[in-house]
Structures are given as C-alpha cells and as structure tokens.
A and B are shown apart, each in its own frame.
Chain A
Amino acid sequence: MAKPQLQPVAANQQAPARSTDLQRYYHDMLLIRRFEEKAGQLYGMGLIGGFCHLYIGQEAVVVGMQAAQKAVDSVITSYRDHGHMLAAGMESRGVMAELTGRIGGYSHGKGGSMHMFSREKNFYGGHGIVGAQVPIGTGLGFAHKYKNDGGVCLTYFGDGAVNQGQVYESFNMAALWKLPVVYVIENNKYSMGTAQARHAAGELYKRGEPYGIPGKKVDGMDVVKVREAAEEALAYARSGKGPMVLEMETYRYRGHSMSDPAKYRTKEEVEEWRGKHDPIDALRAIILEEGVATEESLKEIERKIKDVVADAVEFAQTSPEPDPSELWTDVLIEM
C-alpha cells in the first residue's frame, strides 16, 4: 500500500487533542464502513428491500465535515445518507431498523433507506429526488439567518446532482441573500453509471463562481484535509459572507445501488482507489506511525464497533413490523 498522504499536525493543535480527534475520526469512519457492509449483507439476504445506496469509500467526507460543525448547524443530503445519519449521532439501531422496515426505525418503517430524519440531531434527511435537497438546504440556511441563530446548513449533493437546474436556482438565491449554507459536492466520479467526463462540463468546484460563490476542491479521502476545508467554509458562511462550495474528490467502492453490475468502470480502477486511497487504512497508518494510539487500542475500537453493528442488526430483525394502524397515521398533523 502506498504511504498515506495525510496532513502533518497543525502547529497550533495540542497533541492530546489531535490524538483524541484522530481516534474519533477512525471510530466514526469505521462505524459507517462496518454498518454499510452489514447493510449490504442484509440486503443480500432479502431483509432490506428496494433501493439501498451504500456510502463505502466516502466516509472521510461526512466525518471530516461533521468534525468542524457546531450543534446548531443543520445537515441535509441525498439518498446516499446512512453515513450522514451515523455521523450526525443518530443511533445505528434506529437507522438499521428503518432499513429493514421496522417500527423501531427512525421513520417507523415508513421512510426506508432514503427517508430518515432527526430533528434532535438537526438532520433533515434523506431525500430521494436528485438535487431536490439543495433548495431545501438553502431554505434551512434562510431559516438560520432569519432566526439569527448562528447556524449554517451543510447541504450535500453528488456530482450527479450538479446538473439539476434547481441547484443553480439555489446558488443564485443563497448568494443574493448571503445565506449561511455550505454546499458540499460529493464527487464520487459517477452519476449513477455515467462518468463525470461524460456528464459534467468544467470543474465542479467552480460551478458557484458566476454567482460569486467561492469554491474549493478538497481531497475527500483525507479526513483531516476535509475537516480543515470544512472549518474554513463554515467560518466563511457563519460570518455572514454567504455560501461556499466544497467539491470533495471521493470514490464509492460499491455500485450506485445494490443491483448495479458496475459495467461502466474497471476492476482495476476500483482496486486503485480501494487499495491506495482508502481513507480508513490511511488514517490507521498515520495513527500508528505517529504513535497516537496503539494497535491494541485500535483493535479495541474495532471490537466495539463490531458489537454496536451486531446489536443494530439484532435490533433491526427483532423490532416488529409497523402495526397496520401506522398505515393511516402521519399523513397530516391534526389541527
């Protein structure tokens, strides 16, 4: 494996803080990975139905962004959303049980993989229409500004969504009204099965430029670089200067959804990313190299995660299916 390219310790960062941070990122990324692998397995066993878009490979993006957020900030994303929920602090039990369509799921089994929310954790979904979360995230930014609560909305979307008109309708309003929004383009190179070079003209991080929105390209496989870019972008948006675009260069190892034969890319390409740029392997190597933690303490983290995921799987299978009466509830709020 190539030597991981991670940022050196920031000059002003105390060593104990960095130690804690790196171990936390390792934990959070590995939790997402193990959770997603298990979800893929449950899908294969027929316990999860419909669409299931796994986040494997992209973990550094959401964990690095989350590391720079404040509690008041809000998050919204597309349908590749399990990682965002776990990073936001949502319970793995509730997420997995939603995937299996059980009452213990975040949406009582009525939403599924693409539709989960947590007001408590300021996570606003989970949206199934490509690009539709971008105006909604812009509206969450509008609400932060209106209420003057100091919050910023992190609005995630993929490289596939960058060609939707409503993205630019949103950029225009956000720039015009200086809304506190950070637009995070998770460029995993493929819009479903169409490679970036075949679907998007020009550089994605520059897509906000005509509106005066600064953009930055970030190594989305390096959690520390992501966190640093996030800190800069969040500070910019929070200061009242308006939105910022971050293009995260990342890669999804799995197919678009579960039944994706992945004929549009080579095995060698996937192996190249997985073998040489994996965000979790890279961070693990850095942690050991810097002596931030021992092999044994990382093993301990891995064991704990295994237990957490096994517990989520158990819960997701034993939680009952929603009661038939659930069919009729939550259509409208009773007035």
Chain B
Amino acid sequence: MAIQILMPALSPTMTEGKIARWLKKEGDAVKAGQVIAEIETDKATMEVEAVDEGVLGKILIPAGTENVKVNEPIAMLLEEGEKADALKNAPLPTITKAVASKEEPKADARPALSVVPAAPQPAEIPEEKEYSKYVKLTVRDALRDAMAEEMRRDPNIFLLGEEVAQYQGAYKVSQGLLQEFGDKRVVDSPITEMGFAGLGVGAAFGGLSPIIEFMTMNFAMQAIDQIINSAAKTLYMSGGQMGCPIVFRGPNGAASRVGAQHSQCYASWYAHVPGLKVVAPYDAADAKGLLKTSIRDRNPVIFLEHEMMYGQSFDVPDEEDFTLPIGKAKVMRKGSDVTIVAFSRMVSHALVAAEKLAEQGIQAEVINLRSLRPLDTATIVESVKKTNRLVAVEESWPFAGIGSEIAAQMMEHAFDYLDAPMARVHGADVPLPYAANLEKMALPQVENIVDAVKQVCYRQAA
C-alpha cells in the first residue's frame, strides 16, 4: 500500500514552509532515515527523512513551492514490490491527526487558575490531646530524640550532612547519633550541598528514607534545583510512580550578627512549591512530634528549624511514640479581641506581646502555624470569626511572604468576618545588616507586634 509523505513541522508553532529541494527523484529507492528533501521556513532549514523503506513513487509538491501547509502530502512512497499504479488508489495518510486534542474543551477542564475552593475545608485532623506527663527538653535534644527514635524503628533511615557524625553536629543536633547508629547511617558529607542533596534524592528513589541536614538553610540555595526539580516534581512527572520520601532539615532565618548571607528565612520559597511539605516547629514538642511525622511522611518535607531556639527548653509529652500531624496549627493562647498568627521563633515574640497586650486590656489569641504547606487556613478562619482582627508575624521579607498568603486566604475565606484590614509584621525589606542596632531594626520585635495589634484594634499605638 503506498504511503503518503507529509509536510513536517519543524516546531510546534510552524504552520507552513517551503520545499527547498528534493534530494531524491521519482523512482529512487529510499531507506528509513535517509534524507529525501529539504524544507525551509523563515527561521531554519531542515531535512526531511524517510520513515519507511520503499521507492519514491511520485513527488506531489515540486521543489521551490512556498507556503506548503504542515501535514499536506508532499510525495508518495511505494513499498517493496508495489507498482506505480498503486498510487491511483492511495489511501489517506496512515497516521491521522489526533481527535482527542481537537475536541471542544469539556466544561470541567477549566483552567486551574480559576479553581478556588469555595470555603476552607476544616482539616480532618483531631484536636491535640491532653497529655498526663511531660519532660523538659531543649529543642536541640528533641530533634535528636526524634531522629534516634525513628532510626531505631526503621533501618532504612539515615542522616547525611556536613559535620553530623564525628563533629556531633555543627549545632550539636546530632549529638550521640554516630555512637548509636554507626557511620553507615550517620554520614559526614563533604561541603557539597547540590551533590549531597541530589544523592539523597537518588537514595530516596532507591528505597531509603534519607534525612538530609543542611548546616543552615542558607546553603540549601546551592541545592534548590535538586529539592524542587528532582524531589518535589518527580512524583507528578512519573504519574505517581516515583515518590521521594526525604527530609531536608536545618536552621532557617536570622541567627545573631551573622550578616545577610547567613540570615534568611526561606519559608515562603518552599511553601510556594506543590509537591513539598513545609514544616516550621516552634518549641521542643513541635520539634519532636513534627520531625518524627516528617520522617515517616512519604513525601519530601522541608523542616525549618531556628538556631535561636535550639538551646531553649520546653515541656514535651512524655509518652511512647509522641507525634504531631503535619497541617494542623496550634492555638497557643486563647483570646477574644485579636488573632496573632506566627511560626517558628516568632511564636515566642507573639506570646510575649500577648502578655503585654493583656495588661492593656486586649486579649490576643496566638496561633502557632507549625506547618506552612499545607497551611491550616481553617484554624485561622475559625479564630478570625471570633476575634474579627488579624495580625500575621514572620521574620522574613514582606513581599510575597507567608503573611501575604494569609492575607489572600483571608480575602477568600474570611472577608466578611474582618472588622479591620489585617496587618503584617515582618522583617525589613533589606538584606540583613550586621551592626547590632541595624539588625535589631531589621527584625520583628515584640513592640512591633504590640503596635500592629493596636492598629488593627483601632487603639492608639503606645
């Protein structure tokens, strides 16, 4: 059966072109892969290769013809043993244009952009239970205990990062883990962030559960391609086949007097990305309960710690296998007049501000977000329905920050409940300075939160 040779497109946008010349003439034998013609567009010249073997039976479009439409038959190919008169009954092209792609768009195939949930779905996560016994732990030890408990449970979990083993952790978070688990499972990495982040992704694809420690999240910028393009997107790109169970953890945000390159909060960077979960613990209970859950999660989790919190002690539930769910915020302090939303170290500032405000007769409800993706919008909305006023606090820059996202969510889900425009408290929109006075000015302070609350409560700032 004679085969039609069609005018090919050089690119998805090409609609027509010129047959520059024929390199084969009628009657010539043609093999698959042989160049038979050259076509031109205003952008490029390309060769047309035969896909099938046969004899060039007839050239339908002569050389020099311009404006030949893509997919128009340009020649006929006779298969082995065929005579030229087979051309009289030449069939339609063996390959026909796809039908499905030409169908009218279905009603439910609307662009993703217009999809906004009608109302926040309350997360189906039970309220945190009351615990009978607590122990005092530093955030540092809580993180270590979380890793140790999970590593005892599952031999496929390992910790890899700079100085995690013999040095016992640059911030001593991995103290004692080398001694307990050995150097197969607690691995000192060279200073090679992109390399070891990618290696962790590969190990996760290969069936292990890596915990990758960045000495600080600032250095993870060297590795962000592996975190986003490899870890976050592969499950989707593989149609659900290739999950990446990995935790990337390390201190995030401003420490103290270390300058701009070592003092950045990456919460909104990672929270922007579908395919990641982003967790930011505040106290030791958060640190332990959320890290254990993050290690068990089969998705890539960004676990944002805070250097200034490592040495602080908190009550941690003293029970076997204490965990906290990802995606559930915690109301740290009940209040009726205003809601303050914060995460990581800023929860501490918010709680101090709430005490000061109480002295002035303002009862603030303080929400510790714990998780930024997924964000527990329902808990914020429930609080705003009660207080009708909202202040969002974060250490990072304001533009496209977590506070901006919360503002957008409130427009969508709590607009009718707000009695005043929401306020944001955030870091100054500058690279973090070194000088002590400037650094203090650049980072949110308790007073900034107090002032913002007064602003949304229409009280005079102090």
Contacts and interface: CB of A to CB of B under 8 A. Distances in A.
B241 A117 contact: yes
B190 A172 contact: yes
Interface stretch (A137-145, A193-201, A227-235): A137-145
A117 B274 CA distance: 20
B206 interface: yes
A327 B110 CA distance: 11
B258 interface: no
B194 A332 contact: no
Interface stretch (B136-144, B230-238, B382-390, B454-462): B230-238
Interface in A308-327: 313, 317, 320-321, 324, 327
A27 to B, nearest CB: 15
B243 interface: yes
A332 B229 contact: no
B6 A143 contact: no
B421 interface: no
A332 B300 CA distance: 9
B237 A107 contact: yes
Nearest to B195: A169
Interface stretch (A63-71, A125-133, A243-251, A288-296): A125-133
A117 B33 contact: no
Interface string A108-149: 111100011111000011111100101111111111101100
A117 B238 contact: yes
Interface residues of B, number: 71
Q: Quick one: which of A106, A253, A331 has the most chain B CB within 10 A?
A: A331
A279 to B, nearest CB: 13
Contact of B239 (A45, A100, A108): A108
Interface in B398-453: none
A330 B198 contact: no
B71 A261 contact: no
Contacts of B45: 261
Contact of B238 (A37, A111, A143, A253): A111
Contacts of B208: 142-143, 146-147
A169 B44 contact: no
Interface in A28-48: 33-34, 37-38, 40-47
A261 B14 CA distance: 14
Contacts of A317: 95-96, 98
A119 B241 CA distance: 7
A129 B11 contact: no
Contacts of A173: 189-190, 192, 195-196, 199
Contact of A127 (B11, B204, B230, B299): B230
Contacts of A324: 106, 108-109
A105 B235 CA distance: 15
Nearest to B242: A117
Contact of A332 (B49, B226, B299): B299
A47 B9 CA distance: 10
Interface string B228-258: 0110001111111111000000000000000
Contacts, number: 221
A47 B71 CA distance: 11
Contacts of B226: 132, 135-136
Interface residues of A, number: 77
Contact of A49 (B12, B46, B190, B201): B12
Interface in A68-121: 74, 76, 100, 102, 105-111, 115-119
A330 B195 contact: no
Contacts of B205: 124, 136, 139-140, 143
Interface in B1-56: 6-12, 32-33, 43-46, 49, 51
A297 B153 CA distance: 57
B303 to A, nearest CB: 15
B238 A321 contact: no
Contacts of B10: 44, 258-259
A312 to B, nearest CB: 12
A319 B9 CA distance: 23
Contact of A142 (B202, B229, B297): B202
A165 interface: yes
Most buried by A among B11, B187, B201, B277: B11
Interface string A266-307: 000000001000000000000000000000000000000000
Nearest to B50: A37
Nearest 8 CB-CB pairs, A to B? A139-B202, A135-B198, A44-B8, A169-B195, A143-B206, A261-B44, A108-B239, A136-B202
Given A129-B229, A165-B194, A173-B189, 6 more contacts: A108-B240, A136-B202, A139-B206, A261-B43, A324-B109, A330-B238
